[in-house]
Amino acid sequence: MSDAPTSGSADRRGGSHRPAAAADGAGEGSAYAVLEGRLEYVLEPALLVRALTHRSYAYENGGLPTNERLEFLGDSVLGLVVTDTLYRLHPDLPEGQLAKLRAAVVNSRALAKVARGLDLGAFIRLGRGEEGTGGRDKASILADTLEAVIGAVYLDKGLDAAGELIHRLFDPLIEQSSNLGAGLDWKTSLQELTAAEGLGVPEYLVTETGPDHEKVFTAAARVGGVAYGTGTGRSKKEAEQQAAETAWREIRAAADGAGAQSSPPAPSSSSSSSSSSPDSPSGSGAPASSPGV
């Protein structure tokens, strides 16, 4: 079945560009209008419904079309726009470093953070099993659905519109990506920073609580026997990444403040126990100006 919407779609109401209610009641038009308001685009209803349909819902409802093709398309559009922007912003960087900067922006954790900012999880059509295991807040599902939505905007509105949406959502990450060292993930960035500061190799102590289907992991990032950051998540990887981010910020701030000092002071109890977002390198909400597509 084609991803392109048709004028005879059953999801169109009297020519209105508002999605019809989904079979599970989660996708009533007013709710979709809220999402479209956040996207700042009114999309072809059938296309938007497709973008929000996870395979678990499709399988439980007779093999409906899923959002996986749109996800595939959106991933490519997102990669193109981010790559183009980084290429223009950093004319002197070699290919390898550009790839690392792109990886700091285009990854599941970053996409999930952006998706949470849109409250995208509330609109996803999920199967009962996935719903029961907290699928609406799973980073992988959020990231995939956001890519599908980007793909839908591209199909319905074109590359310029998709590029505008991507810039609005991702420019804060693009602006800050050069601060992430290797740019591959926070653990890599923390290891590079601690090596540069002569502090040693980070260690992660992870504990877990809760039943098997709702486990919560807590990680502490320690360097030289000192705990510089903690983090929690629904997976060990997520908790470690969050702890690494908190530690990276603590050590970086101390190193910047110390100037010539090679070793930052031990963190205060408030900063070592706090945790920042696992998905975004910056709390900034204002997009930076950057070249268009």
User: What token pair was written down for 77?
Assistant: 């559009």
- Check if 75 is active-site: yes
Q: Residue 94: exposed, middle, or buried by beta-carbon count in 10 A (0-12, 13-18, 19+)?
A: exposed
Rounded to an integer, what distance in angstroms lies between the CA atom of residue 260 and that of residue 263?
9
Q: Is 245 annotated as a binding residue?
A: no
Residue 36 annotated in ligand binding: no
CA separation for the pair 256, 259 (Å, rounded): 6
Catalytic residue among 3, 60, 75, 245, which? 75
Three-state secondary structure call for residue 11: coil
147 is in an annotated binding site: yes
| Residue 140: φ, ψ to 5° | -65, -40
Instruction: Identify the bridge partners of residue 203 per DSSP, sorted by sequence position.
Output: 222
- With beta carbons less than 8 A apart as the criterion, state whether 254 and 265 touch: yes
State the Cα–Cα distance between residues 176 and 82, nearest whole angstrom: 13
Q: Out of 44, 60, 147, 250, pick the active-site residue.
A: 147
Give residue 156's identity as a one-letter amino acid code: D
The answer to whether residues 64 and 55 touch, using CB atoms and an 8 Å cutoff, is: no
Is residue 137 part of the annotated active site? The answer reads: no
Binding residues for Mg(2+): 71, 144, 147
Binding residues: 71, 144, 147
By annotation, the residues acting in catalysis are 75, 147
